Amino acid sequence: MDIINLFELISRILIISISVSAPYIFAGIGEMFSQKSGVLNLGVEGIMMVGAFSAFYFTWAYNNVLLGIAVSLIVGAVMGLLMGFVSITLKAKQGISGIGIYMLGWGTAGTLFRLFIGGVESIDKGVENIDLPVLGRIPYLGRIFFSHNILVYAAFLLVPLSWYLLYKTPWGLKVRAVGSTPRAADTMGISVNKIRYQCVIIGSTLAGLAGAYLSIAQANMFTSDLIAGRGFIAVALVYFGRWKPFGVLKGALLFSTANAFQRWFQISGINFPYEVTVILPYLLIIVVLAFSHKGFAEPTALTVPYDREFKG
Amino acid sequence: MKINKAQLIQLAISTAVLGLSLITALLLGSVILIIAGVNPLIAYKALVIDPVSSLFGISEAVVRAVPLMLVGTGISIAFRSQMINIGAEGQIQLGAIAGGAAAIYFSGLPKIFLIPAVILIGFTAGGIWGGIAGWMKAKLSVNEVLSTVMLNYIAFQLYLYLIRGPLIDPAELAWGTGVPQTARIAGAAEISRIFLGYRVHYGIFFAIVMAFFIYFLLWKTTFGFRLRAVGEEKNAAAYAGVKVDKYLVMAMILSGGLAGIAGTVEVLGVHRRVLEGLSANYGFSGIVVALFGRLHPIGVIPASFLFGLLLIGAEKMQRAVDIPSALVISLQGLIILSVVSSSLLLEKKKYRDKIYNIFS
């Protein structure tokens, strides 16, 4: 393989890897906010499913991408409100209520898909790529970094933005306080539950957007197995990223590059059972989880509902 | 087992709260139906009334109760030790493929050895799969929900690979049809059907016996006491000298093993071969069954029959009134949410006393 072809291959893999990283970034950063405030939301996968379906349906039926995205955000927020109500107000076990949210999203997306769409449909025009002026024309780098759809740029801007929010604003300080020492935060006059609701809803809204990305920016179609575990992977990336925005970004990029390699592997004609290549990302996540347990980065009040009356 | 008045009241309260949770879930589910432009009454009639109005429906509900009971009992064990095992789906598939392969290749053995041997192999396959997640939790503190989800995806692909490739029925290849399924299992490995013309098989008695066995194991042995202690007060248990890690792994092996058995029994009693779609989301329905049975093996028995009816009802609903059976997944999600929410009422003293006063 000569050097030009190698460049071509690498840049192709990187183009794919950057564009497929966006849903992991949206969902991962969202889940990070939720966990930072002390709520483990395991329903991300289900929220992504309804987000993906609603975005697809409104884009398909009304030919309007913006409407699709808007609806997916609303649907995500509503799911977040439900998760918040169950796990914050009613203090239900977070791990199990997340599974309830997952199944609710999964079943609802499946039901509405069959009722409203029925079969395989695709949209001609999803979220379109935008070549950034000047930057987009840089050889190789332009195509890799500056020729994506607007949601990809949004995802990459979200990372420094959420870093700023968490570490440089009073609100971010409150979020971190509520997630690590809720009782102290409460004593300081911070409403623990209010901050938690905000974070869970932000997280779920972003999960809805992540789903929308998959259906109307990446696949341009909806199938019941479109999300394929990406919501759970996003939760795993929060652990991998040590609850830090740039850590989550690192995980998302590592993972999407692995995804891009896997795709290249499948179409490269190398004789290998298809099922084995599909397994690789999930195996990778297990390995990543196994090696990311050290240290004490986890918000200390994660999964613990806040109970004012509890005398501990 | 002596039951006194206080326990009876407790049982009545639990049942009432569960009933209320179910009704809440159905009401919330009707919101989805109304959004979808469907009359909830028509849907729920097909879902709830139709399955109990024919012998065929009841037989099919019992057929579904078998895996639900085995999986639900297994998940109760895991949840009791605070391990949220959502990997039952993969554990079922591995139990089905391992047990199924054994039932095909060991065809020479007499029935009395073959069936127990095959079930043991199914238990082992599911147990290993659950045990991996348990070990990763105990030794590497990997969140078990995430590891079991990932193991689900891996098991699913492994399962497909095996029934499409190495284990495919030679007849499918000879005829060129290529349906992804294995050959029929040996006649001696089949679990017999109880009535001619209905699919309900003797596996239901086996599942009930297993539920009682697990009840005995968890409540009448030191092993079970320690396992539950690890779940309830991890630090206190460790302080008392219980090897917490060991019990976490054991709970996951038992939990996965029972799901594995569920897969094997599906092969031996219902399909008589390993085929696509065999696990039918029993791994997830099993979670609902376990929660509905209040994580108690004896509670899981009636819960399995109830959800067996619900699952067959969902299929009827799809066929009779054209409402997608996927709705039952949403309903189960809502049931989980309402059941875990209601535990606040049952566990918090302030609320519990109030309810208690109403009933006594």
Q: State ipTM.
A: 0.92
Question: Band of the pLDDT at A33, cuts 50, 70, 90?
Answer: very high
User: How many other C-beta atoms can be found within 10 angstroms of the C-beta atom of residue A270?
Assistant: 9
Which is nearest to B228 in space by CA: B137, B297, B283? B297
**Within a domain: B46:** no
When mean pLDDT is compared across B4-13, B178-187, B245-254, B287-296, the lowest value belongs to: B4-13
Which range has the top average pLDDT, A24-33, B1-10, B174-183, B272-281? A24-33
Stated as kind and residue range, the H or E segment containing A212 is helix A192-212
Q: Give the C-alpha separation, B235 to B237, whole Å.
A: 5
Q: How far does Cα B208 stand from its chain's mean position?
A: 13
Average pLDDT over residues B206-231: 95
**Within a domain: B5:** yes
Q: Between these two residues, A220 and A132, which has the higher pLDDT value?
A: A220
Q: In chain A, what are the domain boundaries?
A: 12-291
Question: Band of the pLDDT at B1, cuts 50, 70, 90?
Answer: low
Q: Of chain B residues 322-351, which have a CB less than 8 A from chain A?
A: 323-324, 326-337, 340-341, 343-344
Which is nearest to A238 in space by CA: B80, B154, B296, B146? B146
Question: Band of the pLDDT at B346, cuts 50, 70, 90?
Answer: confident
For B65, residues 6+ apart whose C-beta sits below 8 A from its C-beta are B204, B207, B304, B305, B307, B308
B77 and B12 within one domain: no
**Within a domain: B97:** yes
Q: Give the C-alpha separation, A204 to A23, whole Å.
A: 13
B29 and B1 within one domain: yes
Q: A262 pLDDT exceeds 70? A: yes
B267 and B138 within one domain: yes
CATH for B126: 1.10.3470
**Within a domain: B269:** yes
Q: How far apart are the first and last CA of chain B?
A: 22
Q: Give the C-alpha separation, B6 to A308, whole Å.
A: 30
Residue of A nearest to B159 (CA): A275
Q: Give the C-alpha separation, B223 to B210, whole Å.
A: 17
Question: Band of the pLDDT at B11, cuts 50, 70, 90?
Answer: confident
Question: Band of the pLDDT at A271, cuts 50, 70, 90?
Answer: confident
Q: A311 pLDDT exceeds 60? A: no
Q: Which of A92, A110, A273 sits opposite B344 (nearest CB)?
A: A92
- What does R_g of chain A's alpha carbons equal in angstroms? 20
B202 and B263 within one domain: yes
Question: Band of the pLDDT at B2, cuts 50, 70, 90?
Answer: low
B23 and B105 within one domain: no
Q: How far does Cα B51 stand from its chain's mean position?
A: 20
For residue A294, the model assigns a pLDDT of 60
Q: Which of B289, B313, B337 is the last residue of a domain?
A: B313
Q: B5 pLDDT exceeds 90? A: no
* A200: three-class secondary structure by DSSP: helix
**Per-residue model confidence as pLDDT tens digits over A205-232:** 999 999 999 999 988 899 888 998 999 9
B344 and B280 within one domain: no
Q: Does B15 touch chain A (CB under 8 A)?
A: no
Provide the residue type at B15 as one letter.
Answer: T
For residue A310, the model assigns a pLDDT of 60
Q: Which of A46, A93, A283 sits opposite B340 (nearest CB)?
A: A93
* Token pair belonging to A152: 């990809």
**Using a CB-CB distance cutoff of 8 angstroms, which residues of chain A are in contact with residue B150?**
229, 232, 236, 282-283, 285-286, 289
When mean pLDDT is compared across A61-65, B72-76, B326-330, B354-358, the lowest value belongs to: B354-358
Structural domain boundaries enclosing B167? 56-313
Q: A3: distance to nearest CA of chain B, Å?
A: 36
Q: A270 pLDDT exceeds 50? A: yes
For residue B251, the model assigns a pLDDT of 96
Buried b (16+ CB within 10 A) or exposed e, A102-112: bbbbbbbbbbb
Q: Are A81 and A25 spatial neighbours (Cβ–Cβ below 8 Å)?
A: no
Q: A312 pLDDT exceeds 50? A: no
Q: Which residues pair with A129 in a beta bridge?
A: A149
- What does R_g of chain B's alpha carbons equal in angstroms? 21
Q: Does A287 touch chain B (CB under 8 A)?
A: no
B357 and B218 within one domain: no
B274 and B327 within one domain: no
Q: Which of B290, B313, B336 is the last residue of a domain?
A: B313
**Per-residue model confidence as pLDDT tens digits over A88-97:** 999 898 989 9
B163 and B229 within one domain: yes
**Within a domain: B257:** yes
Question: Band of the pLDDT at A149, cuts 50, 70, 90?
Answer: confident
Q: Which of A96, A103, A276 sits opposite B284 (nearest CB)?
A: A103
Q: B319 pLDDT exceeds 90? A: no
* B193: three-class secondary structure by DSSP: strand
B172 and B253 within one domain: yes
Hey, are the CB atoms on A111 and B324 less than 8 Å from each other? yes
Hey, are the CB atoms on B333 and A100 less than 8 Å from each other? yes
B256 and B157 within one domain: yes
**Within a domain: B91:** yes
List helix spans (H) across B266-348.
Answer: 282-292, 297-321, 327-347
When mean pLDDT is compared across A266-275, A298-307, B301-310, the lowest value belongs to: A266-275
Which is nearest to B72 in space by CA: B284, B335, B228? B284
B67 and B24 within one domain: no
Interface test with B, best of A94, A286, A294, A309 (most B CBs within 10 A): A286
Q: Which CATH number applies to A12-291?
A: 1.10.3470
Q: A293 pLDDT exceeds 80? A: no
For residue B352, the model assigns a pLDDT of 66
Q: Give the C-alpha separation, B63 to B265, whole Å.
A: 10
DSSP character at residue B201: B
For residue A1, the model assigns a pLDDT of 55
Rounded to the nearest integer, the mean pLDDT of chain B is 91
Q: Please tell me the total count of domains within chain B.
A: 2
Q: B275 pLDDT exceeds 50? A: yes
**Within a domain: B48:** no
**Using a CB-CB distance cutoff of 8 angstroms, which residues of chain A are in contact with residue B327?**
107, 111
Q: Give the C-alpha separation, A93 to A88, whole Å.
A: 9
Phi, then psi, of A122 in degrees rounded to 5: -135, 160
